[in-house]
A and B are shown apart, each in its own frame.
Chain A
Amino acid sequence: MVNYGGDEVSALVIDIGTSSVRAGYAGDDAPKAVIPTTYGFHRAAPDADSAMPDAADPTRSGTGKFAKMYMGQYGPSVWREGMEVANPLTDGLVHDFEPVAALMRHAVVDVMRCNPTEHPILVTEPAWNTPANRERMAEIMFEEFQVPAFYIANTGVLNAFAAGKGSALVIDVGQTIASVTPIVDGFVLRKGLVYSSLPQLIHAHARHTLLNPTPQRRGGIDLYPHQLITNKMPVELGAPPRYTLREDRVKGTTESWRMWYEAREVDEWTQSVAGVLEQGWNDQAAASRPPRQYEFPTGYNAWFTSERYSVGEQFFWHSPQLMASNAGLPKTIPALISESLRACDPELRQVLVGNVVLTGGGSLFAGFGDRLSSELARSFPHVKIHSPGNPVERRYGGWLGGSVLASLGTFHQLWISKEEWAEHGKAIVGQRCK
């Protein structure tokens, strides 16, 4: 019964990211439940309209500050009058545990239909997580979910495990944070850990590109989501859109929901149109690429030419003017990598460069992998990049590594059991999960 060192104890793996919460059984190759981390809610107020009409919604009566929470597939993306939207994570770290617990419960209980008291649960954390945060997570797991055993593992390490490596340089590009983590023998080298909010800069740049007029375009593009549009007419390329708004809904739309949905529209545009040049920025090369058409929910459609490449260029290069004008500018990917390697032992660098793991949904940006390999090959002749071609493996690398780890027979002595939690308290988390 010892197959490749695996021994299934029906553990669950929960990977909480800024864009989504992934949950599933250890030993599977993809998470069973993927729900957005962003949730919708109605504020608890004494005169709040507590009786919502649609009972079919996967809603949950909130406690404390929330009158009602909307999570999952039909959560924040459904328009509701007066619904606000929030994300419990900032810079990859949980700052608000109340909705996180609710999200985990939704994923495990409502989507997976599991009883958390029957399964050991492995949760992931970013490498820069604070001890207070992981202890709080353990507390939620043991006190609220009553799990029999718990472990919290580092996403960097798990991404390396998902790639089948014990030592690796993990380049993880998420929704808000891009990080470079050197892993040696399954341990994070904390001195070499670097991260920056580069993806947020990319998003801001893309938004700026869409909202500001260009030589071809007189005004900015309206980013109204389709929920707010009654009807629209087909228009010529580049012509001003002809649509009518749903005035009844516009009134009841909250600012947070609209911002969130506009950000989604920008992200969608980025994912389908934007790219990065494989061999570095070159005006001719950018102009020679075929333009790409994109239609917004308002019906406005246009060809996007070289501006779609200037968005991706921000990942790898910042113009000196931009750097001069903005001191707190997040570091580019090559800068992060060289900073991380500089902090490592010279002897380790060769090992790490030969085991680069590219992961995270942000790394699926068109042309990202090719550009990274050409950038790295320039400074390191023996670089080898592991980047799974399968987008699921790329997006859920952390979860996959957790699935591998939690189904290993040798791992089961590392679980923090309920008994140990009761005996040692919070200190056990720091001792066990190094």
Chain B
Amino acid sequence: MSGAVAVRRRAIPGALVWGGIIVGAIALLAVLGPWIVPYDPDAFSVRNRLQPPSGTFWFGTDEFGRDVFSRVLAGAHYSLAMGFGATALSLAFGIPLGLIAAFDRGWLSEAIMRAVDVLISVPPILLGLLVLAVTEPALWKTVVAVGLVYVPIMTRIVRAVGLGLLAEDFVQAARARGESAAWILAVDILPNAWPPIIVETALRITFAILLGSALSFLGLGAQPPASEWGLMIAESRPFIEQAPWIGLAPGLCLCILLIAVNLLGEGLRELLDPRLRGRG
């Protein structure tokens, strides 16, 4: 047992490698999308309506004769933007708030944690719905809404990590030296807080993509004619019997992306979380 653990400690987890390769490939396709699409993703073609997949149209065509393959390719960046954008937003707010809540011993920390308690008591999709219900839907608003949903969760995690580090000797030493709070947070706490934050972030991205595409599916995200995958699936519903490929193509791509991001997160966790080492 101990020998196996020692070997695994140095090896990069397979999940990380495979997840990284697939996410990287999808990201590359998303970036290259505009140049490599075989057809204009938004161009109508009445003659080619509802064509099944073939050599000419790899994933078939939709009810307007638009090439589904081109649309899926052109839509890849939406899901990536939602997942990574929303998570970045939750980090941008969650890290400072969490660190302040960990360091401060007064009313500020109390106020932050009470606000977090309230926001965490709202089911995630509801908070998104609430924000999107009262304004005109747009993709950036979905990203902001999903990001805000995860700010309280991120704040809690960063605070917990920070509290743990504050008890460490090197932080106590810095305090004894009379370093300022900002210095201790930036130099002593933050660099050591990264591993758990990275792990949480990677796992969060999956949820952000899921929530964002679900909101788009419900009509509260990207708006037509955008080829966001959740929206494409929603638009395919009336043709589900006649032309199932319109919804299946973006749906399968979304699943592959989610599995890959999930693998990436699990792999990072295996690599960085010492508690998991040696456990199957």
Chains A and B are bound partners: no
Taking Cβ atoms with an 8 Å cutoff, the residues of B that contact A are none
Taking Cβ atoms with an 8 Å cutoff, the residues of A that contact B are none
